[in-house]
Structure 1
Amino acid sequence: MAILRMPFARILFLLAIGLFAGRNAFAGVVAESTRVVFMAGAGERSLQLINLNDYPVVVEAWVDDGELDSLPENSRAPILPLPPIFRMDPHGQISLRLLYSGAPLPKDRESLFWLNLYEIPPTELDRSLDTATLTVAIRTQMKVFVRPQGLSASSSEVAAKLEFLLDDEPGRPHLTVKNPTPYFANLAKLQFTHAAEEVAEALTVAPHGDADVDIKPEDAARTEATAAFTLIDDDGNTDVRARACRIVPR
């Protein structure tokens, strides 16, 4: 099993010997957006999907907490995709409905779930019986944010309110990203302005939470530093910002 992690979505490749060959290992079923923002007051959302493949596929959809080994039958997410299983013709489209059950969720912050699209290709029967072939089933995961009504701030304020702290903790130098807002902060990239390499390729910081990123001792020991970050907004667009890092006193 090989896992490929991407900033906007996560794709799990499940490989097994079977009757399917000659396909490229990439997600052929794609969505109109890279994330779904579900207002808690709304009963449902729709998401347009298109099959870019030149062959039909069967897709199984479910929403869960994002664990890579989760299955539809053990999901407890309050969002139900309809239809849960469907066939898509080559280059065909479908409108996937996402229904909110109304189950209680925190009212002072967003909740995060993941929409899974498990794409199953067809089998090929016109092959030689002694030919080794490979079946590739692809699982794509997309973020689904459930946003309560009446939050104290706007989602457009996230970039301006993030805080960055340098901590030269012995044996564990790290950069702490603090998110004081009720929204998830989705960073596509994080680095210091004085360094070329990235500190983190992708990072999600929970509402009213923080996340630690390991850094080099020489970076943690600096008396001043500036963190440059790329924030992803509700529409999947990026906002590039820079912020001075605060030094944690010892």
Structure 2
Amino acid sequence: MKLIISLFISIVILINTANAGVIIGGTRVIYPEGSKDVSISVENPDKIPYLIQSWIENSQGDKQSDFTITPPLFRLNQEKTNALRIFLTDNKLPNNKETLFWLNIKTIPATERTENSLQIAFKTQMKLIYRPTLIKNVNFIEEQKKLKWSKNGNQITVNNQTPYYMNFQSISFNGKKIEDVSYAAPFTSTSFKVNDASVHGTIKWEIINDYGSADAVSETKI
């Protein structure tokens, strides 16, 4: 006797691309001091509606009270576009350097639920950077020349003596790409692991600018 088990699982996976799911109009948000608000668009090109939930966390991923986002929760109908507006509610942030926050946008497809269906929400997290007026005229090509690099064992360390967050697209040492690169906060040192025992060599890196693209490759010898 044959036992035939038919299991039908419908998984709806929301992917943030141009041809599937909600399209978010940017990869980062810059909030210049003095702005009334800034906004980022969310577009639904699909034939089904989505529930959009958004919130802002501080750089440690905790609750914060500096910013408010509206609307925090809404329905985005099919083939419609809306905007998330971000307001600075209490300006007690440093005026000599950037401050990092995280903007979170969760999208849930509003499909019909059945007994054998599973819905998967997708969350996008991007940087929200507050930029004071004193440093608003940023030239990343020039600023990254101030980065100081060193190596100790299997650690590459970058000393960021600028007031800006240096977001790395890539870092390599002697042609070997360093995995899991992230960013260097203002006026701090940040280390990354590299699988190379050489004491000296050439470091190459790319910085992501305000528009989400990488500037030209820079390099230095240590």
Q: Which category describes the TM-score, using the shorter chain as reference length?
A: 0.7 to 0.9
**Aligned-pair distance for 1:25?**
4.2
Of the candidates 32, 42, 46, which is equivalent to residue 49 of structure 1?
42
| TM-score under structure 2 length normalisation | 0.85
Of the candidates 181, 199, 206, which is equivalent to residue 202 of structure 1?
181
SS at match of 1:159: helix
Aligned partner letter, 2:12: R
**Aligned-pair distance for 1:96?**
1.3
2:32·2:136 contact (CA, 8 Å) conserved in 1? no
Structure-to-structure mapping, 1:56-205, within 5 angstroms: 56-65=49-58, 75-125=63-113, 127=114, 129=115, 131=116, 133-151=117-135, 154-156=138-140, 157-168=142-153, 173-192=154-173, 194-195=174-175, 197-205=176-184
- 1:92-133 deviation per Cα after TM superposition (whole angstroms, max 9, x unaligned): 1002111111330111100000111111222424x4x4x3x2
Which structure 2 segments of 5+ residues have no match?
1-8
Using a 3 Å threshold, how does the CA distance of structure 1 residues 77 and 30 change in structure 2: closer, same or farther?
farther
**Aligned-pair distance for 1:89?**
1.2
Aligned partner letter, 2:197: E
**Aligned-pair distance for 1:43?**
2.1
Counterpart of 2:218 in structure 1 is 242
1:153·1:182 contact (CA, 8 Å) conserved in 2? no
In 1, Cα distance between equivalents of 2:23 and 2:60: 21
Of the candidates 215, 228, 232, which is equivalent to residue 194 of structure 2?
215
Counterpart of 1:35 in structure 2 is 28
In 1, Cα distance between equivalents of 2:22 and 2:136: 37
SS at match of 2:35: coil
SS at match of 1:158: helix
SS at match of 1:90: coil
SS at match of 1:87: strand
Cα-Cα RMSD: 2.1
Identity in percent: 26
- 1:154-196 deviation per Cα after TM superposition (whole angstroms, max 9, x unaligned): 343332222211113xxxx31001111000000011112x32x
Counterpart of 2:15 in structure 1 is 26
| TM-score under structure 1 length normalisation | 0.76
Aligned partner letter, 1:99: F
Which structure 1 segments of 5+ residues have no match?
1-19
In 2, Cα distance between equivalents of 1:46 and 1:228: 34
In 2, Cα distance between equivalents of 1:51 and 1:67: 30
In 1, Cα distance between equivalents of 2:205 and 2:89: 35
1:228·1:240 contact (CA, 8 Å) conserved in 2? no
In 2, Cα distance between equivalents of 1:87 and 1:67: 29
Query: Aligned pairs, how many?
Result: 209
1:164·1:243 contact (CA, 8 Å) conserved in 2? no
2:27·2:126 contact (CA, 8 Å) conserved in 1? yes
